[in-house]
Homo-oligomer: A and B are copies of this chain.
Amino acid sequence: MLGRKLVERLAYEGTLSGRPIARVTLVDVVEPLAVAAPFEVETEVGDLAEEGVAESLVRRPDVVFHLAAVVSGEAESDFEKGYRVNLDGTRQLLEAIRTLDRYCPRVVFASSIAVFGTPFPDTIGDEFVTAPLTSYGTQKAICELLLSDYTRRGFLDGVGIRLPTVCVRPGAPNLAASGFFSNIIREPLNGREAVLPVADDVRHWHSSPRAAVGFVLHAAAISGETLGDRRCLTMPGVSVTVGEQIEALRAVAGDEIVELIRREPDESLQRMIGNWPRRFDTRRATALGFRAESSFEEIIHVYIDDELGGQIP
């Protein structure tokens, strides 16, 4: 989803970091959807975790966006696949870049707030330990360390961005544990019922898909020197409770829409969510110019603008 939105944005703007884009190569394990763009678009199918694949795919672009990952639930249910794709795949990519002479591209790596695990304070700062409680979070935290070390050694110029939960996620409801944060907004806005499985006081950290693409683009543009040696940053977001999400929906769309949310508590999900971060102090990212929405109402308006053509159907 993020990859597709990134490519659409690049195609729309035609430039990256103020320079015209000559060519974009899209790589995925399934045939990537090509887009109409004012620059050359190549598509490639390949599994970065396989020996030799990364070497053949890295054709010296100025910027590498590494967004691919086995998602959290799958990395937990299939231990070997998660490590193979999320860790070995990333390492093969970094190695392919390292072993090329006179080549030091900006590498933007999509990390996750899943690198943090309980116990943590109500607000997690930039110097808080990365102690994940999922294999996915572990793999992301390891890749962050590799990215910083490869950068320090001069093999590449990495920036890792820990994305908030992306909300409102477009498309059909999915089975991700975090899916309800989006479902309770998207489904009612489209006239459909949505299930809320947790309590109204559950607090979490969100940004829109548009803001997430903005983070990725800004990470491609910022100066490496201002970043220093710590190349991975928690991205800004909006910290709201589920109750505040619902009140924002009411303010934007009215009572009738809100009535489409049906409360159906799920004890095991509620327990799991107790381990998820609630709020961050992202002063490093903010000082470096990364910007998220400033309220959940704004996040809802972004969804209406970008996915519903500007008005509630």
Interface residues of A in 160-182 (CB under 8 A from B): none
Interface string of A107-139 (1 = CB under 8 A from B): 000000000010000000011111111010010
Tell me if A128 and B130 are in contact (CB < 8 A).
Answer: no
Q: A148 — which chain B residues lie within 8 A by C-beta? A: 131-132, 138
Tell me if A141 and B145 are in contact (CB < 8 A).
Answer: yes
**Separation in Å of the A127 CB from the closest CB of chain B?**
5
Tell me if B138 and A149 are in contact (CB < 8 A).
Answer: yes
A301 touches B (CB below 8 Å): no
Q: A141 — which chain B residues lie within 8 A by C-beta? A: 145
Tell me if B132 and A149 are in contact (CB < 8 A).
Answer: yes
Nearest CB in chain B to that of A143: its residue: B142
Other-chain contact of A79, B130, B132, B133, B153 (Cβ < 8 Å)? B153
Complex Cα distance, B49 from A307, in Å, reads 50
Q: A129 — which chain B residues lie within 8 A by C-beta? A: 126-130, 230
A229 touches B (CB below 8 Å): yes
Q: A145 — which chain B residues lie within 8 A by C-beta? A: 130, 132, 138, 141-142, 145
Q: A117 — which chain B residues lie within 8 A by C-beta? A: 229
A2 touches B (CB below 8 Å): no
Most buried by B among A127, A135, A145, A229: A145
Complex Cα distance, B136 from A153, in Å, reads 12
Q: A153 — which chain B residues lie within 8 A by C-beta? A: 79, 135
**Separation in Å of the A143 CB from the closest CB of chain B?**
9
Nearest CB in chain B to that of A131: its residue: B230
Tell me if A229 and B133 are in contact (CB < 8 A).
Answer: yes
Tell me if B152 and A146 are in contact (CB < 8 A).
Answer: no
Residues of A that sit less than 8 Å from B by CB: 79, 117, 126-133, 135, 138, 141-142, 145-146, 148-149, 152-153, 229-230
Given contacts A135-B149, A135-B153, 19 further A-B contacts (CB under 8 A): A79-B153, A126-B129, A127-B128, A127-B129, A129-B129, A129-B130, A129-B230, A130-B145, A131-B148, A131-B229, A132-B145, A132-B148, A133-B229, A138-B145, A138-B146, A138-B149, A141-B145, A142-B145, A142-B146
